[in-house]
Amino acid sequence: MVTLCTNPNCNLLSNHKGKHQFVYKKAWKDHFIAEDINKIDKAGYCTPRGGAKGGYQNHVNRNSKVIIPYEKLSEVNLDNYQDGYVIRLFPSQYFSAKNTVNEAFIENADVIVGENAFVLYRTYEDFENYPPLSTWEIRSILKYDKHKKAYCIPSKDRGGDMIDCGHYLLRISNSGTNKKQNKFEGPAQGIFAPEYADTNTNFLCQAVLAWLIIKTENSPYDESDFEHLKAILKKHNLLDSPHFENDYILHNGKTTCPLCQRTIFHSELNEMISFDDEEGLENSTDQVGSTRSTKVNLFHMVPLCYSSLENIPTQVSWGHAICNTRLGQRRCYTFKDLQSTEIEIEINEGQKKRLLGYANASQNFIRSQNGDVWIRISKGDE
């Protein structure tokens, strides 16, 4: 039996030496095959939303500095971002006219370009209509020089002791008709804010996902080899949490896709996706082929958003890539969730009525008792 350190911020064994340590990935890495280690590592990374065009970093840990779009500022709780944030402004937001700063940013201590904000140029039109101020500099990263005791070493990466400097970023692409060169200057500024998770939360999410790999059908692993991982999950009330079975993350102890509620096979974790015979998705083949995906990917029970942090241990699971595509930016509901809304969807068959299932409050998700799912893909006129 494995006993962990009594310190709430330590997941090492009770008799460990040295400093306390919350993050301990050897709990699964010591026994996982390379492909599964890589799968868990990737789940702890952010994927670029808008990618380089938006100044986002690519495939870095979720516990990283985030970019907050100015138009989303009122939705977020800035205290959530323990690893820092920077506010992104478009030129048309920051300027009211050429070389004229919008009054909203004059003597505004909450948004200061060059300190906690930057301006992102994405078109030649904006660059010409609202050019950078004469005192502005392109964004850059400076690392600390121990000898000079100053931040003065130019860098392209964000590792170590560093600061951001400058006021604007250029991500201007040639439209194909203006015959002008692309302008791409300044380093990526941070990650997509909804994908953020602090270091400890990110670790616990990965620990849950590692456990769910062990619980897949035809898993090559013996649970008895993962007593340390089980102890970590138990310490944080995640090993026997009822949400696993209630939300169909597990069903009868086997890892399940929460949307289609089918058992996930271990082999599916690293097999490439195929849309053959998938109803309604035949036209997705080209798109998926260009993005490349495995059959089973990270699945969020609640969509990621700006207003709250949803990448948390009780809301991550494995799910089919096809199901992820179908679900989109919607919450995944169980039948019991929907039954509690008492919104019944019936089908009239002549003189008879038959209960199809139950819907959520916004009526964009229906599930029947046998697990069938209907999702609204577009909204008509009121």
Percent helix, strand and coil across the chain, each to the nearest 5 = 25, 25, 50
CA-to-CA separations, 247 to 257, 268, 300, in angstroms, rounded: 10, 21, 11
State the pairing for strand pair 162-165/140-145: antiparallel
Place of tokens 């619980």: 215
Report which of 327, 334, 336 is spatially closest to residue 364, judged by C-alpha positions: 327
CA dist., res. 188 & res. 195, Å (int): 16
- pLDDT given at position 286: 36
Instruction: Report the SS3 class of residue 139.
Output: coil
Number of other residues whose CB lies within 10 A of the CB of residue 42: 14
Domain residue limits, the chain: 26-43+198-327, 51-195, 335-375
How many Cα atoms occupy the beta-carbon half-sphere of 57 within 13 Å? 23
- pLDDT given at position 49: 61
- pLDDT given at position 275: 55
CA dist., res. 133 & res. 261, Å (int): 56
Residue 284 in tokens: 């997705």
pTM for the whole thing?
0.90
- pLDDT given at position 284: 39
- pLDDT given at position 48: 64
- pLDDT given at position 289: 40
**Residue ranges of the chain whose pLDDT lies below 50:** 277, 279-290
- pLDDT given at position 113: 97
* Contact status, residue 80 vs residue 309, Cβ threshold 8 Å: yes
